[in-house]
A = this chain, B = another copy of it.
Amino acid sequence: MEENLLRSPDLKDIRITDAFWRKRIDVAQNISIDYMWKAINDEIEGITPSGCMRNFRIAAGLEKGDFYGFQFQDSDLYKWLEAVGYSLQTKPDSELEARADSAIDLMEKAQLDDGYLDTYYIIKDIGKRWTCLRDMHELYVAGHMMEAACAYCKATGKRKVLDIACRFADHICTVFGPGEGQKKGIPGHQEVELGLLRLYGVTGNRKYLEQAKFFLDERGQQPCYFDTEAADRGEKKETYEKAWSRVQGRDLPYNYQQAHKPVREQKEAVGHAVRCCYMLSAMAECAGLTGDESLDAAAETLWRDITEKQMYLTAGVGSQSDGESFSFDYDLPNDRMYNETCASIALLMSAKRLFERLPRSSYEDVAERALFNGILSGISLDGTRFFYCNPMEVWPERAKRRADMHIDTVRQGWYGCACCPTNVLRTLTGLGAYIWSRKDDTVYLNQYIASEARISLPGGDTVLELKGSYPYSGKMTLTVREAASLNLALRIPGWCESFRVSCGGREYERSANGYVYLREAFAAGAVISIELDMTPRKVYCSANVPFNAGRAALTRGPLVYCMEEADNGKQLWNLKMTDSAVSEQRRSEPEEMIALTIPGLREESAEGALYTARKKTVTPKELTFIPYYAWCNRGEGEMQVWVRDE
C-alpha cells in the first residue's frame, strides 16, 4: 500500500548514538516521561493543574467529580502514551509499560459500548456529543488516541489499545461520511486525519484512509458544516462571529479552522497554525497514498506559502497572536508572534510527509531548522520546563503588556492548555523516524543525527552507521557495516555553501534535488566521508519583511544563534554587530556548546532626555551568541535573534 512513498525504518531498527540528541532523548526518557505522567496525574506541586487522568477515572466510574480543564484534556494522555510507545521501541522499561497499561485499562473502562471515548462528554452530558465539532475537539482527541495506539501497539505488541482506537475509529466512520444518515462533519481542529492514516498504516484497513480523505475533501465545502450544526444547536451565527471576530482574521468566517474554502483552493496559509500544519501533513500523506494530484498540488502550494513567506528563521510559524495564527505574507514581527512549539512540530511533520512523496532536500532543510531551533527551544535542558511561544526577541517587561501576555519570559512547569510539552516529548522519543528514509534500493540520509540503522533493501538488509559531532562539527563518516549494493542519498543542507562527499577516493556532486547520490556496490566496512562547511554566517532576511531591516542573525550549520542578557547585559537593542569575523568559543554553560562572538558596538544616550539632538555615544563591545535552542536556561532575561548589523 505504500509503494509510492519513501518510508522510515522502524524505530527499533535505529540506534541513536548522537552526542547532541542522545542527551536530549535520555532526558526525555529518564526525566520528562516521568515528570509528565505526574503532571497529568496532578502529582506535582506548584504547577498548573491538569485533571487529565482524573477525568479518565471519573469517566470510567472509578471516581466522582466534574470534568476539569479544556475539552481536549484527554489528548495530554494520548500524546504522552504515543511518546511512551516510541520510547519503549528503543528502550524497554517494564515499570513504564505498567503505567501505560494502567492508563489503557482506564481508557477501556471509560469507552462506551459504541466505541465513543471522550471524557468531556461522558462526564458532562453524553447526549450532546458530536453537536459542536467546530469547538469541542472530539475528533482531535480521537486522532491523538489513534496515533498513541499505533505507537504503543508497535512497541509492545499489545492489541488492547489498538482495539480501543479501532472501535472509536469505526464509530467515527459510522457517524461521519457522505452516506445517507451520516453527518458531513469536519473536525474543528485537524488531527483525526493523521490518526486515521496511522491506523490505516498499522491495520491496512482502507476505510480509515478513505475516512481521512473524506474529512479533507469535505473541509470548506458549502454549506459549512459548522453552520449546519450551529443551527441544529439553535445557535445564532452572529453570536459566534462576534465572539470570535478577534481571531477569525480578515477573511471569511472559519478561516481560523481553514474551513473557509475547500482545501484545494487554499493558496495561502491562514488561521490557527497548528491546525493548518496538521492539515497540510494529512494532505501530503493522503495525496501520496491515493495519487490525488490536485491534493498534492494544493499541499505544495500551502507549503511554499508557509516556508517562503510566513516562517521564522527558527521554523516558528503563527506570527499573529490573535488566534495563534498565520498572518499575511512577510508579517513576521519578532516580539509578539505565537510560534507555538506545537506549530513547529506540525511543520516538521508536514516536511516529513511532503518529502515522503517527493524527495527534495528543501523539505528536510525545514525539518532540520525546526528540530534544532523552534522545537528544541520549547523544552528546557533539564526536560521539565516548557515554552508555548517561541519569540525572536524578548524584553521581559514588555511581555507583561496585556497584548503580549501570551509570551512567557521563562519556561513554565505546565500549562492549562498543555499541548506543547507532550508534543515535544513524542517528537524526541520518536526522533529516529526523522533520520533515514527508504524506497526500493535507495536510502536517504535526511538528518545528520549520528545513529546506526538496519534497513531493509530488495536484496536484503544492510546496516549503516553515521558518526560525527553534528551540529557542532560538519565532519562525519557513514560506514556501510554489511556489504550491500544500494543507492545512498545524502542531503546537502541548503545552508551549506561548500561540502565534500567522498568514498574510496571518489568525490560526489549534488543533484538537482539537493541530495548527493552514491550508487555503489559497497563492501562491508566501506566508509563515506562527509564534510559540511560550518563557518558561522550572518543571515539576512528578505527586504519584504519590515522587522529585520538593518539586522542580521548569526547561524552556524543548522543552528540559529541569539544574544542573551546573561552574556551581553541589558538593552540588547543598543548592541550592533560590526563587519568583523565571527569567532567560535567552546563553552560548557548552559551546556557544552560552541558559542559565537563578534566585535560589536554598544550605543548609549548622550544625555538622560527622552528626545535629544545629541547623537548617541558608541563604544566597542564584544557580542556573545549562544544557540537559540539553549536560551533561557539561566533565568529570566532579554534575548534577541535579529541583531542590528552595521
A: which residues have CB within 8 A of B?
245-247, 249-250, 307-309, 311, 313, 320-323, 327-328, 331, 336, 395, 397-398, 400-403, 495, 497, 537-546, 549-550, 571, 573-574, 576, 603-606, 608-616, 644
Contact = CB atoms under 8 A, between A and B. Distances in A.
Given A540-B612, A644-B550, A250 B571 contact: no
A327 B571 CA distance: 18
9 contacts: A322-B403, A403-B403, A540-B611, A540-B614, A541-B611, A542-B611, A543-B574, A549-B573, A549-B603
Given A539-B612, A541-B611, A549 B644 contact: yes
Contact of A610 (B309, B402, B497, B550): B309
Nearest to A644: B550
B327 A544 contact: no
Contacts of A550: 550, 576, 603, 644
State the oligomeric state as a number of copies.
2
B610 A308 contact: yes
A546 B250 CA distance: 30
Provide the main secondary structure of the chain A interface: loop
A533 B545 CA distance: 39
Contacts of A400: 250, 328
Contact of A574 (B322, B397, B549, B615): B549
Nearest to A330: B610
A144 B550 CA distance: 48
A320 B402 contact: yes
A615 B646 CA distance: 11
Considering the complex of A and B, which 3 residue pairs feature the smallest CB-CB distances, nearest first? A322-B402, A546-B573, A549-B573
Contacts of A321: 403
A402 B313 contact: no
A546 B395 contact: yes
A606 B546 CA distance: 16
A95 B397 CA distance: 55
A323 to B, nearest CB: 7
Indicate the member of A308, A397, A542, A544 with the most B CB atoms within 10 Å: A542
Given A540-B605, A540-B615, 13 more contacts: A320-B402, A320-B403, A322-B403, A323-B402, A328-B401, A497-B613, A540-B606, A540-B613, A540-B614, A541-B610, A542-B605, A544-B605, A546-B571
A395 B327 CA distance: 14
A543 B403 contact: no
B331 A398 contact: yes
A573 B401 CA distance: 25
Contacts of A401: 320, 322, 327-328, 331
A331 B246 contact: no
A186 to B, nearest CB: 24
Contacts of A313: 611
A609 B542 contact: yes
Indicate the member of A320, A606, A612, A614 with the most B CB atoms within 10 Å: A612
A495 to B, nearest CB: 8
Contacts of A644: 549-550
Nearest to A397: B328
A571 B541 CA distance: 14
A615 B552 CA distance: 9
A530 to B, nearest CB: 21
A331 B549 contact: no
A351 to B, nearest CB: 15
Given A603-B543, A612-B540, A613-B538, A402 B249 contact: yes
